[in-house]
Amino acid sequence: MTKSDYEEIMQLLCNRLNSLANSEVTITSETNIISELSIDSIKLLNLIMEIEDTFDISIPINALADVQTVHDLASLISRIKSNQ
Amino acid sequence: MNLLEKLDAAAAARKAMLPEGIGAFGVPIEEVYSATEARIGDRRVLLLGTNNYLGLSFSPKCIQAAHDALDAEGTGTTGSRMANGSYYGHRALEQEFADFYGYCAGIVFTTGYQANLGTISGLVGRGDTVLIDSDSHASIYDGCILSGAEIIRFKHNDIADMGKRLRRLGERTENTLIIVEGIYSMLGDQAPLTEIVNLKNRYNCTLLLDEAHSLGVLGETGQGLVEKTGLQKEVDFITGTFSKSLCSIGGFCVSNHPQLDQLRYISHPYIFTASPSPATIASARAALVLLREGKDLRKQLWLNSTQLYAHLKKTGYKLGPEPGPVIAAVLDSPKQALRIWQGLLENNIYVNLILPPAAPEGKSLIRCSVNAAHTTEQITYVGDTFAKLYQQQILNS
């Protein structure tokens, strides 16, 4: 995975999470997706499906258990993408 | 937040959704009169939330069989089959299920939940993949989590999405278990099994079909979706429950792979639990005979189901995509669903209320389960009451 891959993923996540968030939080890599953005699990799973199609990957739902921050999610996506 | 405070927070969230005094979850049933009627509080209500599809819960043959087993073998087995042994009834029912599907092997579990938990966690493990429908029952999700396999979901009944995910798996498809359901419990729709089998064969995967809601309901002899589609030879494993059409408690898995037997030695939900009681096994065996012979019951069930589905659709309710014994009205908000649910109970009709996150995609559902013992008049009354509440709902909104 290159730095630009990760940055591209981060940029996309920040844009999408901004449009879904119920709060006026400035989203950074360390933002906690559930507790700070008040995004419910259903919206999050729909977002995941959208991201999967964007990058043509499948994200196992058990891997999501370890995801807290935007950085965690971006790292997971880049890891899966680079393993394909 | 400590452990107890977390429970308090969950209780507060539940109370915020359900006003005081409304016990929609875990309704106290005071007396049961028949397969279609019971008493809730001081109301004699029509039961449309029981999954009792063939209406066999008061079948004299099943009751007699349970009585006989109680007299002959006592109230319980007091332990697991591995430690305490397998009773004649356990072994007989396993053979009867295998014969019913024309397969070589069958295993009985203590509950339907454990049938999925035990089968899935016995078949796959770390390094394997499970590909499941997003509307899968909790027992499937939990079985997958217990297994340690990688869990990938595809969009509900979406063959294109499923195909895409199989392609992405590459060589791992050989170690992939696809899991689908004959009839989905939330919206009552059926899996597109023919297309799923085509993908399964193309990618060389293994297929498990859960017939929990379709056993007794679909197919000439009631095997389920596998019989309706004639795909017995293509499905690797079938699971199901005794707690719906068979009106007992327990679950099963059947297969044409003799390796199924190995689950008895590796599957914790099979090994570390008390085996089904003699009475539950005996009533399930008696009900299985009635289910196989129950062509007329199925005919009546489908007449009742299509009648109610058509009535609700004509009224204007948003429903699942096809008629069947599970009929779900999809409401825009939990508040609307609660109003309809309360209105039905006030009119002496008991159905299931399903609120987010239990329902798929954040929907709120009023779910009816129709049965073969409902009369045409009862179904008409239910449809008319739904229509009356729909009109009130429109006036109030």
DSSP string, A28-47: -TT-BTTTTT---HHHHHHH
Cα separation, B53 vs B183, in Å, equals: 13
**Chain A, nearest residue to B144 by Cα:** A62
Classify the phi-psi angles of B55: left when phi > 0, otherwise alpha if psi is within -120 to 50, otherwise beta.
left
| pLDDT of B12 higher than 80 | yes
Cβ count within 10 A of residue B338: 20
pLDDT digits (tens, 9 = 90+) for B256-283: 999 999 999 999 999 999 999 999 999 9
Residue found under tokens 């969009």: B155
Among the partner residues A49, A62, A84, nearest to B150 by beta-carbon distance: A62
Question: How many cross-chain Cβ pairs, A to B, lie less than 8 Å apart?
Answer: 35
Judged against a pLDDT cut of 90, whether residue B395 lies above it is answered with no
Question: Which pLDDT belongs to residue A33?
Answer: 87
Whether residue B363 lies within 8 A of chain A, CB to CB, comes out as no
pLDDT confidence tier of residue A22, bands split at 50, 70 and 90: low
- List the domain boundaries for chain A: 3-18+25-83
What values do phi and psi take at A17, rounded to 5? -65, -35
Please compute the mean of the pLDDT values over residues B366-380 and round it to a whole number: 98
pLDDT level of residue B237 (50, 70, 90 thresholds)? very high
Q: Which residue of A has its CA nearest to B170?
A: A84
B153–A61 CB contact, under 8 Å: yes
Rounded Cα distance, B303 and B309, in Å = 10
Please tell me the least confidently modeled range out of B13-27, B49-63, B202-216.
B13-27
Q: Rounded distance, CA B195 to CA B160, Å?
A: 10
Architecture of domain B8-47+295-396: Alpha-Beta Complex (3.90)
Residue B397 confidence (pLDDT): 64
B168 touches chain A (CB under 8 A): yes
pLDDT at B15: 80
Give me chain B's average pLDDT, please: 95
CATH 3.30.70.270 fits B60-292, yes or no: no
Lowest mean pLDDT among A51-60, B14-23, B98-107: B14-23
Q: Is the pLDDT of residue A23 over 70?
A: no
pLDDT on residue B362 = 75
* B362 with A61: Cβ contact below 8 A: no
Q: How far apart are CA B81 and CA B98, in angstroms?
A: 19
Residue B353 has what pLDDT?
A: 94
Cis omega before residue B334 (within 30°)? Answer: no
pLDDT, residue B10, reads 86
Question: Where does residue B362 fall: left (phi above 0), alpha (psi -120 to 50 degrees), or beta otherwise?
Answer: left
Half-sphere exposure of B386 (CA within 13 A, CB side): 30
Contacts with B360 (C-beta within 8 Å, 6 or more apart), sequence order = B134, B135, B156, B186, B187
- B394 pLDDT exceeds 70? no
**By CA distance, what is B363's nearest residue in A?**
A42
Q: Which of B274, B269, B280 is nearest to B114 (CA)?
A: B269
Least confident of B165-174, B308-317, B388-397: B388-397
Q: Which residue has the higher pLDDT, B229 or A27?
A: B229
Q: What's the average model confidence in pLDDT over B75-104?
A: 97
- Tokens read off for B4: 């107890």
- Among A53-67, B96-110, B357-371, the range with the most confident prediction by mean pLDDT is B96-110
Q: What percent of chain B has pLDDT over 70?
A: 97
User: Could you tell me which CATH class the domain A3-18+25-83 is placed in?
Assistant: mainly alpha
pLDDT score for B167:
97
Q: Is B169's Cβ below 8 Å from some Cβ in A?
A: yes
Dump pLDDT digits (tens) for B187-223: 999 999 999 999 999 999 999 999 999 999 999 999 9
B174 CB-side CA count, 13 A: 1
Cβ–Cβ under 8 Å, residues B180 and B199: no
Q: What pLDDT is attached to residue A1?
A: 52
State residue A2's pLDDT score: 64
State the Cα angle at A49 between B326 and B210, rounded to 5°. Answer: 35
Do B139 and B104 form a contact (C-beta atoms < 8 A)? no
Q: Give the pLDDT band of residue B314 (cuts 50, 70, 90).
A: very high
pLDDT of residue B21: 59
Mean pLDDT of B18-25: 66
pLDDT at B103 over 80: yes
The predicted structure's pLDDT at residue B22: 57
Decide if A60 and B152 are in contact by the 8 Å CB cutoff: yes
Give the ipTM: 0.88
Q: Are B33 and B336 in contact, with CB atoms under 8 Å apart?
A: no
Chain A residues at the B interface, defined by Cβ less than 8 Å, are 40-43, 45-46, 49, 53, 56-63, 84
Smallest Cβ–Cβ distance between A42 and the set B155, B170, B356 belongs to: B356
Report chain A residues whose CB lies below 8 A from the CB of B153.
45, 61
With b meaning 16 or more CB within 10 Å and e meaning fewer, what string describes B339-377? bbbebbbebebbbbbbbbeebbeebbbbbbbbbbbbeee
